[in-house]
Amino acid sequence: MREIGHFIGGKHVAGTSGRTSNVYNPATGEVQATVALASVDELRAAVENAKAAQPKWAATNPQRRARVFFKFVELLNQNMDELATLLSSEHGKTVEDSKGDIIRGLEVCEFVCGIPHLQKGEFTEGAGPAIDMYSIRQPVGVGAGITPFNFPGMIPMWMFAPAIACGNAFILKPSERDPSLPIRLAELMIEAGLPAGILNVVNGDKAAVDAILTDPDIAAVSFVGSTPIARYVYGTAAMNGKRAQCFGGAKNHMIIMPDADMDQAVNALMGAGYGSAGERCMAVSVAVPVGEETANRLVEKLVPKIESLRIGPYTDEKADMGPLVTKDAYNRVNGLIDRGVEEGAKLVVDGRGFKLQGYEDGYFVGGTLFDHVKPEMDIYKTEIFGPVLSVVRAKNYEDALELPMKHEYGNGVAIYTRDGDAARDFASRINIGMIGVNVPIPVPLAYHSFGGWKASSFGDLNQHGTDSIKFWTRTKTITARWPSGIKDGAEFVMPTMK
H and E: helices and strands count for the chain: 16, 23
SS3 track for 447-467: CCCECCEECCEECCCCECHHH
* Active-site residue, selected from the candidate residues 113, 166, 246, 281: 281
Contacts of 401 (CB under 8 A, 6+ apart): 255, 426, 429, 430
Count of beta carbons in the 10 Å neighbourhood of residue 98: 29
281 included as an active-site residue: yes
Question: Residue 397 and residue 214: Cα distance in Å, rounded?
Answer: 47
Question: In the Cβ-directed half-sphere of 170, how many Cα atoms lie within 13 Å?
Answer: 29
H helices of 275-417, in order, are 292-307, 327-343, 378-381, 397-406
Helix, strand or coil, per DSSP, at residue 487: coil
Asked if 287 and 391 count as a contact pair (C-beta separation under 8 A), the reply is yes
Classify the phi-psi angles of 234: left when phi > 0, otherwise alpha if psi is within -120 to 50, otherwise beta: alpha
Residue 323 and residue 26 in contact, taking contact as beta carbons nearer than 8 Å: yes
Burial of residue 129 (number of CB atoms within 10 Å: 0-12, 13-18, 19+): exposed
Nearest by Cα to 146 from 17, 236, 241: 236
Sequence-distant (≥ 6) Cβ neighbours of residue 366 within 8 angstroms: 309, 311, 349, 350, 351, 352, 353, 354, 387
- Measuring CA to CA, which residue among 80, 108, 101, 81 is closest to residue 276? 101
Instruction: Please give the radius of gyration of the chain, using alpha carbons only, rounded to the nearest integer.
Output: 25
Distance CA 233, CA 221 (A): 9
Catalytic residue numbers read 281
